[in-house]
Amino acid sequence: MVAARELLLATNNPGKVREYTRLLAGVGFCLVTPADKRIDVEPAETGQTFADNAVIKAEALAAASGLLTLADDSGLEVDALAGAPGVRSARYAGDGATDADRNELLLKNMRVVPAAQRTARFRCAIAIAGGGQPTRVVEGAVEGVIAAAPRGDGGFGYDPVFCVPELGRTMAELTPEAKNALSHRARATAKAAAILAEINRGG
């Protein structure tokens, strides 16, 4: 039996690794992380868009590993905050801040924003690079509103404060299966999976 080809996920974030393991099941690749391969490369995310940063990470990790590499950049865009935190979602509350710190700051900055103006979206861009392939980028998004307070203990990042209106729940209140049916990462990954399946078929 031929061993599955390795696909490097350009992240060591346990939450992301868990989601990608579910979302890419059946694509035919063996998923590995930089920690698995003892790769310590963290390129500066200097892009102006999520797509820019995904490409920067994918190409840097592909060059360091020699493997086909999948990287994403994702975050929260809040309309009342002119699109912030945007590409700075992970750095919104400063270096070393926790998810709880970022959520607390976001809610503080939204405290006077009325319910009708609390619209937001999660956006995800995925880049696939290396392995003798041209770099390709796909994107996904999901619309929602910012809750008045954190709810739920699932997910990670801004999930506890991002409410999906049609469900009346935050992302953190959803089961992993429910989240993976509608999340920004799931929507982008569905497109990425089609590319990976094509690559796998082509050898």
**Which residue positions form the known binding site for Mg(2+)?**
73
- Among 36, 40, 72, 73, the active-site one is 73
Residue among 188, 160, 157 at smallest CA distance from 174: 160
The residue count for the chain = 203
CA distances for 22 relative to 31, 45, 122, 180, angstroms: 11, 26, 19, 8
Task: Check if 99 is active-site.
Answer: no
Exposure letters 36-74 (e unless 16+ CB within 10 A, then b) = eeebeeebebebeebbbbbbbbbbbbbebbebbbbbbbb
Which residues are known binding-site members for substrate? Answer: 11-16, 74, 156-159, 179, 184-185
Distinct helix (H) and strand (E) counts, the chain: 5, 7
User: Which residues, including other chains, have CB under 8 Å from residue 105's CB and lie 6 or more apart?
Assistant: 92, 93, 97
At residue 5, φ and ψ (nearest 5 deg) are: -65, 145
Could you tell me which residues are annotated as the binding site? 11-16, 73-74, 156-159, 179, 184-185
Residue 25 buriedness (CB in 10 A; 0-12 / 13-18 / 19+): exposed
Residues involved in catalysis: 73
